[in-house]
Structure 1
Amino acid sequence: MNSAISAIDDMDRALVHALQLAPRASWELLGPVLGARPDTLARRWERLTGAGEAWLTGLGLRSGTRTPCMAWVEVMCTAGTSPSVGDTLVADPYALGVEHTTGGRDLLTFVAVPDLPTLYRYLYSRVQLIPGVVGTRTSMVTAVHYAPDRWRLDQLTPGQIDLLTGRSRRWAPSAAPAQPVVTALQEEDRPLVLALARDARRSVASLAREFGMSESTVRRRLVRLEAGQSLRYSCALASGLSGWPVSATLWAEASEYELADCAAAAAGLRETRTCMSVSGPWNFMISARLRTVEDLSRYTADLTRRLPGLRIRDSAVALQVRKSEAQELDLRGHRLRTVVPDIWSDPDPANSSPSGV
């Protein structure tokens, strides 16, 4: 990673916002929307990614109609060991997110593995055997109402957004149909998907060369995976540069018949990054991006005002986000590297090992 400090400006933020909306759109398509030359945009993106200030990743979290078993794992550690425990979890390909947090846990980890039996083996044979871990508490994800790849910066104007999304639909052969048909992430697709985890803007030509495929084959597979919801993209700007540097998590309880309303209300707030139904002591979980720590009380008040039946039971502020969507981050939230998220492989320590690029 280039350690040089680059100056972030409004054009950089507009570029990230545009790539959140149209991740693989060409520079030629983005140029007229952003009012910049395509080569200028390409140089800006190279500078941002080289400094770890922005990145665009692809994640394959579905195999056919089967989604992985996802869970939030709270990890409790003996005094002084949470940094080393965090190091181990950051290097783990199944731990897609890792935070040091306030509250009744030392670390909060978002995990994805193929199925329930694998989750059981993963917890007892990997997480609970990490030196320093004295306990874990697991909340299974039963429904994802609002995913992190839907969170956006607010740099583009409504006119630019309309222009970009309209052009992107006309331009992109891989645009998903109105009623997408779920298709399988096949075994031969996995290397392609994992290659996009570090850089989801890799060209079709470079992917074809690496995997010995024709460019038409690569394009056809990307079309199928994107349209079939087996591959999703997420573009991020380092939290300290985004204007939303604070990450917070809330656990809440609501009647089952109110969960859809809770999700809609949470998604309607600018700060909400994810909301999920979960099992465990409470049945609803929300993560948010905030401008300041003090904004947490206002955000919580907004939630309960919109939904009086929603009862906030616990909350945590991230002291440090170590990893997000398979990207290892530094203290400033800059990307250090990608830990390849091959969540469909065997997590048995005897058969697999963490890998990074």
Structure 2
Amino acid sequence: MYSANSAMDDMDRALVHALQLAPRASWERLGPVLGARPDTLARRWERLTATGDAWISGLGLRTGRRPPCMAWVEIGCAAGRSPAVGRVLAGDAHTLGVEHVTGGRDLLAFVAVPDLHALYRYLTQRVQRIPGVVTTRSSMVTSVHCAPDRWRLDQLTPAQVAQLTGRAGRPLQLSAAAPAGMTDEDRPLVLALASDARRSVASLAREFAMSESTVRRRLARLEAGHSLRYSCALAARLSGWPVSATVWAEVSEYEVADCAAVAAGIRETRTCMSVSGPWNFMISARLRTTEDLSRYTAELTRRLPGLRITDTAVALHTRKSEAQVLDQGGRRVRCVVPDIWSDPAPGTASPYADPDPEPGPLRPRAA
């Protein structure tokens, strides 16, 4: 489906960097920043997306004003079964990321569902019943300090970044602005952007029988309230940062905010989250080589004396990232629409029935 070697040049990488900063910007707006004609940029982007080398996805997970229930799930598999288990998980709407990793687990999955009961059902009635799954261990996400869409290439000059965004640097942390509620009517619109977040307002308006002004208004509200975010990605082997690594750590609860701010400021950091479980801090990073992991962890501990690193893992193969299924070269193959509100375990008991109910209290028998 894809050529063995994709022809990437500096203009392609500059285009991806620009779209990371302004994912839905028009070609006319991007042209002066990149010094290219709008039609030239459009053709380049069409080529990159057609080969799976680059893409822009939209992700909206908020249920009303509540954030979703998110968790990292470590999965141990029977010998030789992890590829099959990974393929199954990659096809699930509720599993947004799947990596085959080193260390004490075979797979690391990122899961999002509306609430705790849905997570219970997904783990017990779906994940743990996949043939080949032997063990699972879950860590709830209690706070997202730095989201993956904040990671950028470094192709543009500071002047170009400022011209495009009005600021000289990249945002490092999530804004504290009040979240906008996502209504039932918003969800189809958000899911339609999962595979191509650059879809035109006109095409969305036609599909959902809305006026273009209504579509613009809804998108603006969801974007401003962080209920809808966009992520522009480049295939890992073409990005210059092909290695994905995860770091688990312990930090005092009183120092979490400071640690998150410092970790987010390190170039390689992609995400930074507080989690439940034996360790309370989790960081993922993009590295140029596997040898850079030790340098990165040394830099973390140097800058953060109160942080104790407890475990690390390197991704051997990223099978899925932010709802996009990837090949071994990191190119996008397809999108699994992230409908996290759907039944997490179809074909099993109803969402409100306990498949293994506890016995009720004993009652005296009638005489």
CA distance in 2, matches of 1:346, 1:216: 32
Provide the aligned length of Structure 1 versus Structure 2: 342
8 Å CA contact 2:65, 2:182 repeated in 1 = no
Structure ranking higher in helix proportion: 1
CA distance in 2, matches of 1:134, 1:182: 39
1:311-350 to structure 2, matched below 5 A, reads 311-350=308-347
Map of 1:58 onto structure 2: 58
Map of 1:228 onto structure 2: 225
Q: Could you tell me how far 1:345 is from its partner in structure 2?
A: 1.8
Q: Could you tell me how far 1:308 is from its partner in structure 2?
A: 1.3
Map of 2:22 onto structure 1: 22
Distance 1:207 1:141, change over 3 A: same
What's the secondary structure of 2:192's corresponding residue?
helix
Alignment RMSD, CA only? 1.5
Q: Could you tell me how far 1:344 is from its partner in structure 2?
A: 1.6
1:208-227 to structure 2, matched below 5 A, reads 208-227=205-224
Q: Could you tell me how far 1:64 is from its partner in structure 2?
A: 2.8
What's the secondary structure of 1:262's corresponding residue?
helix
Decide which structure has the larger Cα Rg and report it: 2
Answer yes or no: is 1:206 the counterpart of 2:203: yes
8 Å CA contact 1:6, 1:47 repeated in 2 = no
CA distance in 2, matches of 1:190, 1:5: 38
The unaligned stretches of length 5 or more in structure 1 are: 168-177, 353-357
Q: Report Cα offsets for 1:10-59 as digits up to 9, x if no partner.
A: 11111011011111010000000000000000000000000000000000
8 Å CA contact 2:243, 2:287 repeated in 1 = yes
Q: Report Cα offsets for 1:204-247 as digits up to 9, x if no partner.
A: 11111111211111111111111121100000000000000000
1:281-300 to structure 2, matched below 5 A, reads 281-300=278-297
Answer yes or no: is 1:302 the counterpart of 2:333: no
Aligned sequence identity (%): 78
Answer yes or no: is 1:276 the counterpart of 2:241: no
Q: Could you tell me how far 1:65 is from its partner in structure 2?
A: 1.9
Q: Could you tell me how far 1:86 is from its partner in structure 2?
A: 0.3
Map of 2:88 onto structure 1: 88
8 Å CA contact 1:275, 1:285 repeated in 2 = yes
8 Å CA contact 1:64, 1:182 repeated in 2 = no
Answer yes or no: is 1:68 the counterpart of 2:65: no
Q: Could you tell me how far 1:182 is from its partner in structure 2?
A: 2.1
Answer yes or no: is 1:248 the counterpart of 2:245: yes
Which letter does structure 2 place at the counterpart of 1:185?
A: M
CA distance in 1, matches of 2:233, 2:210: 29
Map of 2:110 onto structure 1: 110
CA distance in 1, matches of 2:4, 2:204: 29
What's the secondary structure of 2:28's corresponding residue?
helix
Q: Could you tell me how far 1:117 is from its partner in structure 2?
A: 1.0
8 Å CA contact 2:146, 2:270 repeated in 1 = yes
What's the secondary structure of 2:156's corresponding residue?
coil
What's the secondary structure of 2:300's corresponding residue?
helix
CA distance in 2, matches of 1:263, 1:237: 25
Which letter does structure 1 place at the counterpart of 2:138?
A: T
Which letter does structure 1 place at the counterpart of 2:96?
A: L
The unaligned stretches of length 5 or more in structure 2 are: 168-174, 350-367
Residues 303-312 or 220-229, more deviating: 220-229
8 Å CA contact 2:125, 2:348 repeated in 1 = no
Which letter does structure 2 place at the counterpart of 1:344?
A: W
What's the secondary structure of 1:111's corresponding residue?
strand
8 Å CA contact 1:31, 1:41 repeated in 2 = yes
Map of 1:101 onto structure 2: 101
1:149-160 to structure 2, matched below 5 A, reads 149-160=149-160
Q: Report Cα offsets for 1:192-211 as digits up to 9, x if no partner.
A: 11110000000011111111
CA distance in 1, matches of 2:61, 2:211: 25
Distance 1:25 1:315, change over 3 A: same
CA distance in 2, matches of 1:188, 1:97: 26
Q: Could you tell me how far 1:348 is from its partner in structure 2?
A: 2.6
Which letter does structure 1 place at the counterpart of 2:51?
A: A
Distance 1:221 1:351, change over 3 A: farther
Map of 1:130 onto structure 2: 130
Q: Report Cα offsets for 1:163-217 as digits up to 9, x if no partner.
A: 00139xxxxxxxxxx9744221111111111110000000011111111211111
